[in-house]
Amino acid sequence: MEEVWVTGAGMTRIGRRSEPLPELMAEAALAALAMAGLERPEAIVVAAMNPEEFVGDGNFASNVASHMGFADVPTLRVETATSSGAAAFYTGFAEVASGLCSTVLVVGGEKMTHIATPRVSELIGRSIDPYERSYGATMPALAALITRALMARHGVGEREIAAVAVKNHAHAARNPLAHFPTPVSMDEVMASRMVSDPLRLLHCCPISDGAAAVVLSDTRGPVRVAGVGQGTDTLALRHRHDLTSFRATQTAARAAFTMAGFGPARVDFAELHDAFAPFELIALEDIGLVPPGKSGTITLDGETALDGRLPINPSGGLKARGHPLAATGLAQIVECVWQLVGRAEGRQLNARVALAHSIGGLATNNWVTLLEASR
Amino acid sequence: MIPTTVAGIGEIVSYTTLHSAPEGFRSPLHIALVQLQGGARFVCHGAQTRRVRIGSLVAIEAVDNIYYFSSLNALDRARLFWGRAGRAGDRVNAMTRSVVRRLFKGGESGPN
């Protein structure tokens, strides 16, 4: 297997955007290509979860490639629900690692804010098991079942969950590309509207537009891809024995660490999939970044803040940077790369190893990616 | 809305009240994940979740092919224990097992 390097990383501002989706994706892609000093990639991988419904366009790989003036570059599209960006990264990684290509552009994006919230919720909800959906279960409802079970354990209460949202908003306040660059207080989170008991509005990520892109190469660059792992689980929540951890995350982390040849102790900071604030606590333990049962205390103690021992979601996370579905897995990797090369202005960490964790659907198709600075 | 089959007694794994239910469902929508004896889990609707906790025993019945949970009051419980032999006996055994399991786990709530 060839060594694979990230030579370029770029993304758009996340939030409510008026530009068409292919234009947002081109903006991110051109920024990544510019950083890589590359004019034309050998291949392109596109991630979009549902452009057919969200923007009404199909054949989206060709659509995006043509829009960027790369109609003659081999392009394909990858989809694993909300982790599509991470899956596209893996596909690009495999193309380079196998020796099939020497440079690959990976670009992901989604545009949703122009659609009414109930419709967006229904479209995202289609990734839920059809039987559970027939009972009116939405993503927030199933996430609430998980949260309730999590809170029945020792060490996770309303304050621990709210602390995740407060921290990630504080981080986003230092990120000019974030959807919500605004701090929120513990009281505001705990008084926000109940979405699906015990999940409140400020525990949930927003609906966002945006795009992110990276360039992968077989020639040495500033950041090396140390490991990529995928993990999967049953579509139906009722078929899982344990609600308070995600097998898909555990499997993905194990695979990524095995490929990298090191363990969680080497990770300096991480971007975790906090579509719902309690998911950050679950991921911390599933990946092995903190001991079982400790994620709540550690978060409340500030250890996962920017100035803490193990900063989590320096970008603001899905919660506050925003969650434009297929862009998210790549936006996490862009943040990791920018941190590793010293481009994370206003929130710069001193770090060498970064981890990105992306959840597809209700944790049915998850990814863990490990990146290492090559200084 | 006539009950067609009675599935029996289940244990609440988790539950929620969804305040913005999708089209075609009333809001708020009470949803629970319920485990029957033998381990099968069902997503169920309920009229309310006020007296429900993780680990609570609930009655499950199917109405028009949709499963509903409802909390057992003291009278229901007494009936389950002292009522009848046969099918109810199985339920009593399930309840006893569940109580024993909970004691064994030192008061932790829920099967997780």
Name the pLDDT band for B62 (thresholds 50, 70, 90): confident
Sheet holding A43-47, edge to edge: A75-78, A43-47, A103-110, A210-217, A5-11, A223-232, A365-373, A353-358, A269-271
Q: Which residues on neighbouring strands pair with residue A45, listed in sequence order?
A: A76, A106
Residues of A in contact with B18 (CB under 8 A): 136-138, 140-141, 144, 195-197
* Among candidates B16, B42, B44 on the partner chain, residue whose Cβ is nearest the Cβ of A141: B16
Pairing type for strands A194-196 and A199-200 reads: antiparallel
Q: What is the pLDDT of residue B92?
A: 52
**In 3-state terms, what secondary structure has residue A214?**
strand
Query: Which residue has 């006893």 as its token pair?
Result: B96
Would you call A227 an interface residue with chain B, using a CB distance cutoff of 8 Å? Answer: no
Residue B28 has pLDDT above 60, yes or no: yes
Residue B70 has pLDDT above 60, yes or no: yes
Residue B93 has pLDDT above 90, yes or no: no
A9: left (phi over 0), alpha (psi -120 to 50) or beta: beta
Residues of A in contact with B24 (CB under 8 A): 136
Residue B19 vs residues A29, A75, A199, B31, B86: alpha-carbon distances, Å: 39, 42, 10, 11, 41
Q: What is the pLDDT of residue A132?
A: 96
**In 3-state terms, what secondary structure has residue A108?**
strand
Tokens of A107: 């670009």
Residues of B in contact with A278 (CB under 8 A): none
| Separation CA B104–CA B44 (nearest Å) | 27
Count of A–B CB contacts within 8 Å?
91
Residue B20 has pLDDT above 70, yes or no: yes
| Separation CA A322–CA A14 (nearest Å) | 6
Name the pLDDT band for B1 (thresholds 50, 70, 90): low
Using only the alpha carbons of chain B, give its radius of gyration: 14
Q: What is the pLDDT of residue B107?
A: 40
Q: Do A238 and B43 touch (CB under 8 A)?
A: yes
**In 3-state terms, what secondary structure has residue A69?**
coil
**Rounded (10°) CA dihedral A232, A237, A240, A246:** 50
ipTM attached to this prediction: 0.93
Q: What is the pLDDT of residues B47-61, one digit of tens each?
A: 988 889 999 999 998
* Among candidates A137, A199, A244 on the partner chain, residue whose Cβ is nearest the Cβ of B31: A137
Q: E strand or H helix at A355, and its extent? A: strand A353-358
| Separation CA B58–CA B9 (nearest Å) | 6
| Separation CA A177–CA A138 (nearest Å) | 29
Tokens of A58: 């199909």
CB A178 within 8 Å of CB A315: yes
Q: What is the pLDDT of residues A27-58, one digit of tens each?
A: 999 999 999 999 999 999 999 999 999 999 99
* Among candidates A125, A136, A199 on the partner chain, residue whose Cβ is nearest the Cβ of B29: A136
Q: Do A121 and B20 touch (CB under 8 A)?
A: yes
Would you call A145 an interface residue with chain B, using a CB distance cutoff of 8 Å? Answer: yes
CB B45 within 8 Å of CB B27: no
CB A172 within 8 Å of CB A315: yes
Q: What is the pLDDT of residue B110?
A: 38
* Among candidates B16, B20, B29 on the partner chain, residue whose Cβ is nearest the Cβ of A148: B16
Q: What is the pLDDT of residue B80?
A: 58
pLDDT tens for chain A, 375 residues long, are 899 999 999 999 999 999 999 999 999 999 999 999 999 999 999 999 999 999 999 999 999 999 999 999 999 999 999 999 999 999 999 999 999 999 999 999 999 999 999 999 999 999 999 999 999 999 999 999 999 999 998 789 999 999 999 999 999 999 999 999 999 999 999 999 999 999 999 999 999 999 999 999 999 999 999 999 999 999 999 999 899 999 999 999 999 999 999 999 999 999 999 999 999 999 999 999 999 999 999 999 999 999 999 999 999 999 999 999 999 999 999 999 999 999 999 999 999 999 999 999 999 999 999 999 996
Topology adopted by domain B3-104: OB fold (Dihydrolipoamide Acetyltransferase, E2P) (2.40.50)
Name the pLDDT band for B85 (thresholds 50, 70, 90): very low
Query: Which residue has 């199985």 as its token pair?
Result: B90
| Separation CA A38–CA A102 (nearest Å) | 12
CB burial of B96-105 (b: ≥16 within 10 Å; e: otherwise) equals eebeeebeee
Please calculate the CA angle A37-A12-A345 and round it to the nearest 5 degrees.
Answer: 75
**Rounded (10°) CA dihedral A211, A212, A217, A220:** 160
DSSP E strands: which ranges in A188-300?
Answer: 194-196, 199-200, 210-217, 223-232, 269-271
Residue B4 has pLDDT above 50, yes or no: no
Q: What is the pLDDT of residues B98-110, one digit of tens each?
A: 555 555 554 444 3
Would you call A153 an interface residue with chain B, using a CB distance cutoff of 8 Å? Answer: yes
Domains of chain A: 5-114+207-373 (3.40.47.10)
| Separation CA B7–CA A27 (nearest Å) | 56
Average predicted confidence (pLDDT) for chain B: 75
Q: How far apart are the first and last CA of chain A?
A: 22
B35: left (phi over 0), alpha (psi -120 to 50) or beta: beta
CB A319 within 8 Å of CB A258: no
**In 3-state terms, what secondary structure has residue A181?**
coil
Please count the other Cβ atoms lying within 10 Å of the Cβ belonging to residue A133.
Answer: 18
Residues of B in contact with A198 (CB under 8 A): 16
Whose CA is closest to A201, among A165, A232, A228? A165
